[in-house]
Amino acid sequence: MKLILLGPPGAGKGTQAQRLQDRYGLRQLSTGDMLRAAVASGSELGLTAKGIMERGELVPDGLIVGLIEDRIGQADCASGFILDGFPRTVAQAEALDRMLGSRGWKLDKVVEMDVDEAALTARIVGRFSCGKCGTGYHDVFKKAAKAGLCDVCGGSEFTRRKDDNAETVTARMAAYRSQTAPLLPYYAARGVLAKVDGMAAMDDVYRQIESVLGKS
Ligand code: ADP
Ligand code: ADP
Ligand code: ZN
């Protein structure tokens, strides 16, 4: 199964992709995580991406397409993957079509996570994750069962993204509206788009995605 989770920053893409990965053995491919790893490693890509990400703009298509192309060819993607944060422009979507086509693969579904923009800032500024295993949390909406300890790995170090602040959110929303939202009609025209209510509780959103995938 090849799946795209599509929605603005804070819509819940990463949260749901983590759950689907654990449950169905689909590999979560987050271009945001890949870029943050590149920034942390100080690679050439990381140096290019750092300032762009801090401003809430999009990294050039060519760099992102190269990352995904390398990744989907690896063995752990053979049984399927969930694209979380890619594609974000029509040019990226066209490149993805070419990549899949050249392997004889097809996209199964694009799940649109429909959310109320007014709720997204609160989701984004309260977001943090486990520094050891990457599990996502929220100050209000998803606390660890035992404060200060990761539910999954027991780790006690947590990280917050530098771009998760109210100022950057405005730029990221604008980038979503102008560059990413055109993907909705792009995929609707191909008959693969399905919408879920991203404002529902996390478990409910997950059930909606399962039912879209025919796995409930
Ligand atoms: P995205 O990957 O789309 O940017 P995340 O999955 O990281 O979004 O979610 C953003 C924040 O909102 C996280 O802290 C997450 O715990 C929280 N969150 C995700 N889904 C929901 C939901 N349905 N209701 C409330 N909070 C949510
Ligand atoms: P969010 O979870 O809030 O939607 P991501 O972690 O997916 O954010 O992305 C963080 C930042 O990384 C983006 O604001 C952008 O600068 C960059 N980025 C991630 N994916 C892409 C992409 N497919 N194309 C261009 N830039 C990207
Ligand atoms: Zn952890």
Read off the pTM. 0.96
E-state strands within 73-147: 81-84, 109-114, 127-130, 136-138
Distance 200 CA to ligand 2 centre (A): 23
Q: Give the integer Cα–Cα distance in Å for 102 and 96.
A: 10
How far is residue 69's CA from residue 105's CA, in Å, rounded to a whole number? 13
pLDDT mean over 191-195 = 97
For a ligand 2 pocket test, name from 36, 68, 88, 120 the mutation site with the most ligand atoms within 8 angstroms of its C-beta: 88
pLDDT digits (tens, 9 = 90+) for 58-103: 999 999 999 999 999 999 998 899 999 999 999 999 999 999 999 9
Residues around ion ligand 3, judged by CB within 5 A, are: 130, 132-133, 135, 150, 152-153, 155
Which residues does a 6 A CB cutoff place in the pocket of ligand 1? 7, 9-15, 123, 126-127, 136-138, 141-142, 201-202, 205
User: What's the pLDDT score for residue 29?
Assistant: 97
Atom of ligand 2 nearest to the CA of 175: 14
Mean pLDDT of the chain: 96
Closest CA to 194 of 1, 10, 6, 2: 6
**Predicted pLDDT of residue 79:** 87
> Which residues are designated catalytic?
13, 88, 127, 161, 172
Instruction: Find the ligand nearest to 204 CA.
Output: 1
Taking the centre of ligand 2 as the mean of its atom positions, its distance from the CA of residue 163, in whole angstroms, is 10
Q: What is the pLDDT of residues 15-52, one digit of tens each?
A: 999 999 989 989 999 999 999 999 999 999 999 999 99
Cis ω for the linkage preceding 60 (within 30 of 0): no
- Provide the pLDDT for residue 98: 97
Name the band, by pLDDT with cuts 50, 70 and 90, for residue 178: very high
Averaged pLDDT, 138-159: 97
